[in-house]
Amino acid sequence: MTDTFTRRELVERAALGGVVLSLPGILAACGGSEESSGGGGEKKLAKTLDVSNWQLYIDYDEKTKKYPSLEEFRRKTGVKVDYVEDITDNAIEFGKIQRPLSQGNSIGRDIIVLTDNTRFPGLLISKGWAEKLDKDAIPNIDNLQDALAHPGFDKNREYSLPWQSYLTGIATNTKLTGGKPVTSMEALLEDPKYKGKVTLLTEMADTIALVMQANGDDPTKVDDASFDKAIKRIKKAKDSGQIRQFTGNEYTGPLAKGDLACCLSWSGDVVQLTVSNKDLVWNLPDSGGDIATDNMLIPTGGDVFTASTFMNFVYDPKIAAQISVGCSYISPVKGIKDEAAKIDPKSVENPLIFPDEETLSNVVIFDAEAARNQDYIEKWQALLA
Amino acid sequence: MAFLHRHRWLTPYLLLAPGLAWLAVFFAIPLGFLAYQSLQEGTFEFGYSFGWAWGNYWDAIDLYHKQLVRSFVYAGLATVIALVVSYPLVYWIAFRGGRWKNLFLLAIVAPFFVTYLIRTLAWQTILADHGVVLDVMRTIGLVGDDFRFLQTSTAVVAGITYNFFPFMALPLYVSLEQIDHRLIEAAQDLYASRLQAFLRVTLPLSLPGIFAGTLLTFIPAAGDFINAQLLGSPDQRMIGNVIQSKFLELIDYPAAAALSFVLTAAILAAVAVYARALGTEKLTG
Amino acid sequence: MSVAVETLGGGRPGALTRLIRFARHHVLTVYALLAFAYLLVPIAIVVLFSFNDPKSRFNYVWEGFTLDNWRHWDAYPGLTDAMKISLEVAAISSAVATALGTLIALALVRYGFRGRGATNLFIFLPMSTPEIVLGASLLALFLNLQFATGFLTIVIAHIMFNVSYVVVTVKARLVGFDRHLEEAAMDLGANEWTTFRKVTLPLIAPGILAAALLAFALSVDDFVITFFNSGSTTTFPIFVWTAAARGAPPQVNVMGTMIFVVALSLMAVNILLQRRREGRTP
């Protein structure tokens, strides 16, 4: 599909002649920091694409130790993807990249992935550190699910496109819990059997949402009272030694090693971790979990055309299905059930990849305003300290 | 050469100039920038502005004195343990090492050649909940089933001690190695027992080494955050972790900068007291 | 005391006495052995796990012996590049820092001059400032000067913190240095420069070498200050830090072992050469 697209683009360019070619250049000169394709020149694909992403978030072949979809991208376009799983936490990632970005320097990445239930995608855009997508290179953008088409932080999807969506729930190492999965937040936070063998996530939205639901509050409408109540409950668990650590994506290590009885975890991770530890299971808490979406953004200095081409590639239903089934997360691309069935017929029934009504009714999206609230953020940081 | 000979007084200044200039530009001036930052107010989203915000310092002490004290305790423990463990070892090398002295010294420094982080991760493996050490201890019955080393103060202090061991051992060795053996022989000729000779001759002569070693160990240990991060739980968070998270995660530069100066001041105060106790010539000698 | 027992009793001392004497004489040696074990066991673990064959991405549990990690030591280009950069930074920064620091040490120990006490204090300050403060303040400098952080800023930072350590190490050696040797040389007709070259320098060379090696080791090892000032350049420790969170591949252990072995061999060779030059070490 990408082949026909590129050919179409070439034909278009030839038809419209040089005017179109120089338009981006003029716009770049007027518009400031847009470094789309070096103003006025032909759009060329770079030799490599540098992508930073979270752990266990793409299809991976254990035997060849390679990423099949990225290999396919290389076969189709000749672009080698330098894929690094170095994002563990939104705040840490943002803190790392804002330093060079604030100086106007590139961070050596073409695509980074940030979560929409934090303030960071919006912050990146509002500070002017995200490049505009080259939508001409992403006709597959029409495949984006309607529900994700107009998020608050990027109303017209000018700067970002979803990568995968995830659910936050509880991962259990059944070997340490007598064979039973842990299904209640109460057990996680207060059961002395698991003292010192529990971790929570450093992501405020994910952890607070689950604790608030366990308190009977509604995370879609956070107020001071319900926020403080959640904080208090977590603090109590922390002070009593129940909580071993607050982690970002790096809970995967201790979980696989068998240090943890149960922990808050992101839906698809456990599936890939069962290679390391067969006793791991994942489920939503009885009181409910949360759902959020990770977004691809192009930081300043990233190669917009190549990045956009890549985004278009992963929005192809066949590739989207391959990735989603491969990492057991929820694809933002609509209409991929048939492709998924071809890869693995059982995947269509898998609520982690295609959440059913029941699952969806059991998860919420964290209040976006609360995610940006400076006061809440400080209280949360104080809790982690 | 003749010029230098005539203007002999210039020599020390010429020797000092390049190094001091480097430190002035890349140590002193940046601290100035940091100080400026510490008096700013505002947030990352809406920008910072200079406002003589002395409140940042008060907040720093008020909110994080627990972590500050904890850092000093951990660093102090690690320093003392490192001193006690390394002294006999270094003594043995200096006095009994013979021809192979330098090779033994090498063995002490060798761990240093494996990256700090990898060394700490190795301790993660050694002290793992289901690693060899704990399995053996559980089998013997030394500890209960729920016992763990990782994510406790013990692990953090052990990690700090191990990681800063060469900082203690090397200065100690340098000063022990320089002790003239004849002095000890002389003491023994004067009827001092081995122990007395050690206490009255060797130990005092090794004080410069002890002083240097304890400082080189305590100071970086107090500001460390890696051991606490990898081997500790939230209850072991040190002031270094707080500063790091304020700089890199909350992006709260004024608070982080103020906290940094509070830590530095506290360390300098502790060192000044220590130096006074031992005798100030050691500091400037 | 045991001497008295011996002479009083006459003849050969009893087995117990001999055992006690043997133990007392060697207790320090036994202790030294144990201490060495303590120091080297974690290193052994690192080396051991470089031969591990983990099925998953985590290299925590021993699963099987393999030479694959060593055969494909460069399987992770990011890792190899990071290693290269670390070594380059260390070479440059330790050389410069040793030069700067040795000059300062010479000035401080051998000359009385105005501001000597203040200079001593000033040199001491970087060591009494936590790394995190050094790193953050340097970053503040570079940000304000709009100076892009990267390889050069890392080198600058490393030279900065190494100078003080070099000064302290060389000074410790210089302070115990016997000036009489120099005086003797000069009495015999050598001028200052020749004396320095032929008498002083060779005698303090071990101290300078020790300082240089310390600086090199500190540089390769540095994480905190580098972390703040590296921009998008990745040094080896930074690679390990980010890799540790997502499961460091055994190749990290391979690299760690390689540095260790190379450094160890270099130093060992240097020591052996030195011994041959000096004859019997005093």
Per-position pLDDT tens, chain B of length 285: 566 666 777 778 888 889 899 999 999 999 998 888 888 888 777 778 888 888 888 888 888 899 999 999 999 999 999 999 999 899 888 888 777 887 888 888 888 778 888 999 888 888 887 777 888 888 888 777 777 888 888 999 999 999 999 889 988 888 888 888 888 888 888 877 778 888 888 888 888 889 889 988 999 899 999 999 888 888 888 999 998 888 877 778 888 899 998 998 899 899 888 888 877 554 444
Q: Are residues A160 and A53 in the same domain?
A: yes
pLDDT one-digit tens code per residue, A4-18: 333 343 334 444 333
- Higher pLDDT residue, A107 or B113? A107
Selected residue with higher pLDDT from B147 and A215? A215
A127 lies in the same domain as A173: no
**Residue C11: pLDDT band with limits 50, 70, 90:** low
- The per-residue pLDDT for B6 is 67
CA neighbor of B225 nearest in space, from B247, B205, B206, B203: B247
Confidence of residue A356 (pLDDT cuts 50, 70, 90): confident
Question: Residue C92's CB: how many other CB atoms inside 10 A?
Answer: 17
SS3 of A241-304: CCEEEEECHHHHHHHHHCCCCEEEEECCHHHHHCCCCCCEEEECCCCCEEEEEEEEECECCCCH
Residue B245 sits at the chain C interface (C-beta within 8 Å): no
Place of tokens 């500890």: B143
Tell me the residue ranges of DSSP E strands in A36-146.
Answer: 48-54, 80-87, 112-115
**Domain assignment of residue B55, yes or no:** no
Domain membership flag for residue C271 = no
Subunit contact A92:B237, Cβ cutoff 8 A = no
Is A95 close to B251, i.e. CB distance below 8 A? Answer: yes
Q: Per-residue pLDDT tens for C18-32?
A: 887 777 778 888 888
Looking at chain C, which residue has its C-alpha nearest residue A106?
A: C232
User: Nearest Cα to A209, choosing from A62, A368, A337?
Assistant: A368
Among C49, C52, C57, the strongest candidate for a mutation testing the A interface, having the largest count of A CBs within 10 A, is C57
The answer to whether residue C40 sits within a structural domain is yes
Residues A200 and A52 in one domain: no
Q: What angle do CA A108, A109, A114 make, to 5 degrees?
A: 135
The closest alpha carbon to C218, from A301, B79, B216, belongs to B216
Phi, psi of B280 (to 5 degrees): -70, -15
CB contact under 8 A, A258 and B129: yes
pLDDT at B4: 60
A227 in reach of chain B (CB within 8 A): no
What does the pLDDT average to over A321-350?
Answer: 90
CB-CB under 8 Å, C244 with A250: yes
Q: Is residue C191 part of a domain?
A: yes
* Residue C114, domain CATH: 1.10.3720.10
pLDDT in tens, C181-215: 888 888 888 787 788 788 888 888 878 887 888 89
Residue at C278 is within a domain: no
Residue at B162 is within a domain: yes
pLDDT of residue A274: 83
Asked whether residue B30 is domain-assigned, the answer is no
Pair A89, A118: CB distance under 8 Å: no
Mutate to test the interface with A, among B235, B250, B252, B259 (most CBs of A within 10 A): B250
Residues A300 and A190 in one domain: no
Percentage of chain A modeled with pLDDT above 70 = 89
Decide if C277 is inside a domain.
no
Domain extent, residue A129, equals 46-165+293-353
Counted domains in chain A: 2
**pLDDT given at position C159:** 95
| Statement to judge: residues A78 and A147 lie in one domain | yes
Beta bridge partners of A291: A167
> Do C119 and C38 belong to one domain?
no
pLDDT in tens, A171-188: 999 988 888 899 999 999
Residue C55 lies in a domain: no
Q: Is A217 helix (H, G, I), strand (E, B) or coil?
A: coil
- Residue C152 domain boundaries: 77-248
Contacts of C193 in chain B (CB under 8 A): 1
Cβ of B20 within 8 Å of Cβ of C122? The answer is: yes
Q: Which of C139, C149, C245 sits opposite A249 (nearest CB)?
A: C245
Nearest by CB to residue B233, choosing from A126, A244, A385, is A244
Q: Which of residues 59-98 of B touch C (CB under 8 A)?
A: 85-86, 88-89, 91-93, 96
Instruction: Please check whether residues C141 and C23 belong to one and the same domain.
Output: no
To 10 degrees, what angle do helices A90-102 and C131-144 make? Answer: 40
Spell out which residues of chain A touch residue C137, defining contact as CB-CB under 8 Å: none
**Do residues A273 and A136 both lie within one domain?**
no
Residue A35 pLDDT: 39
Set of chain A residues whose Cβ sits within 8 Å of the Cβ of B63: 382
The pTM of this model reads 0.79
Neighbouring chains of A at 3+ CB pairs under 8 Å are B, C
Question: What pLDDT is stored for residue B70 in this prediction?
Answer: 94
pLDDT of residue A282: 92
* Cβ–Cβ < 8 Å for C142, C229: yes
Location of structure tokens 């200052």: C192
B113 near C264, Cβ under 8 Å?
yes
Averaged pLDDT for residues A217-229: 92
Which CATH number fits the domain that encloses residue A276? 3.40.190.10
Instruction: Please give the C-alpha separations between residue B103 and each of A233, A335, B94, B107, in angstroms, as whole numbers.
Output: 56, 68, 11, 6
- B-chain residue closest to C256, CA distance: B114
| Inter-residue contact A267 to A167 (CB < 8 Å) | yes
Percentage of residues in chain C having pLDDT higher than 70: 93
**Residue A115, helix vs strand vs coil:** strand
- From chain A, the residues in CB contact with C66 under 8 A are none
Judged against a pLDDT cut of 90, whether residue A309 lies above it is answered with yes
**Residues C144, C140: Cα–Cα separation, whole Å:** 6
- Are both C44 and C86 inside the same structural domain? no
What pLDDT is attached to residue A262? 93
Interface contact flag, B130 A257, Cβ < 8 Å:
yes
Contacts of A250 in chain C (CB under 8 A): 244-246
Residue of chain B nearest C157, judged by CA positions: B26
Res B160: pLDDT = 94
| Residue of chain A minimizing CA distance to C232 | A107
- Interface membership of A257 toward B (CB under 8 Å): yes
User: Looking at the predicted structure, is the pLDDT value of residue C218 above 80?
Assistant: yes
CB < 8 Å to C247, chain A: 55, 252-253
309-368 in A: which are within 8 Å (CB) of B?
Answer: none
Structural domain harbouring B102: 77-237
Question: What's the pLDDT score for residue B2?
Answer: 63
Contact B188/C at CB under 8 A: no
A163: confidence class by pLDDT, cuts 50, 70, 90? very high
Q: What is the pLDDT of residue C279?
A: 64
Q: A245 to chain B: which residues are within 8 Å by CB?
A: 151, 233-234
Decide if A241 is inside a domain: yes
Q: Does B50 touch chain C (CB under 8 A)?
A: no
**Nearest CB partner across the interface for A123, out of B45, B151, B235:** B45
Pairing relationship of beta strands A289-297 and A112-115 according to DSSP bridges = antiparallel
CATH code, domain with B84: 1.10.3720.10
The pLDDT assigned to B217 comes to 92
Determine, yes or no, domain membership for B67.
no
Q: B2 exposed, middle or buried (CB, 10 Å; 0-12, 13-18, 19+)?
A: exposed
| Residue A37 pLDDT grade (very low, low, confident, very high; cuts 50, 70, 90) | very low
Are residues A265 and A234 part of one domain? yes
Give the pLDDT band of residue C1 (cuts 50, 70, 90): very low
pLDDT at A357: 87
Q: Are residues A344 and A230 in the same domain?
A: no
Q: Sign of torsion, CA A83 A88 A90 A94?
A: negative
In a domain, C280, yes or no: no
pLDDT over threshold 70, residue C233: yes
Q: What's the CA gap between C225 and C219, in Å, rounded?
A: 10
> CB–CB of A77/A96 below 8 Å?
no
* Residue A202 and residue A320 share a domain: no
Flag whether A51 is in a domain. yes
Task: Give chain B positions within 8 Å (CB) of A244.
Answer: 151, 233
Looking at the fold, whether A77 and A198 belong to one and the same domain comes out as no
Q: Is residue C171 part of a domain?
A: yes
**Is B217 among the domain residues?**
yes
State the total domains in chain B. Answer: 1
> Chains touching chain C at 3 or more Cβ pairs under 8 angstroms?
A, B
A286 and A329 in a single domain? The answer is no
- Number of domains chain C contains: 2
Structure tokens at C184: 């003797």
- A272-292 residue pLDDT tens: 888 778 899 999 999 999 999
- pLDDT for res B272: 86
Q: Cβ contact (<8 Å) for A249 and C247? A: no
Residue C22 phi/psi, 5-degree rounding, is: -60, -45
Least confidently predicted of A23-27, A90-94, A246-250, B186-190: A23-27
Are C35 and C83 members of one domain? no
Instruction: Determine the Cα–Cα distance for residues B96 and C115; give it in Å rounded to an integer.
Output: 41
CB contact under 8 A, B128 and A196: no
Q: In this predicted model, what pLDDT tens digit does every residue of C56-112 receive, in sequence order?
A: 777 777 778 888 888 887 777 778 888 899 999 999 999 999 999 999 998 888 887
Q: Which two tokens stand for residue A314?
A: 């992963």
Q: Searching chain B, which residue's CA lies closest to the CA of residue A375?
A: B43
Chain B CB contacts of C156 under 8 Å are 26
Same structural domain, A258 and A335: no
Task: Show the tokens assigned to A145.
Answer: 């699910």
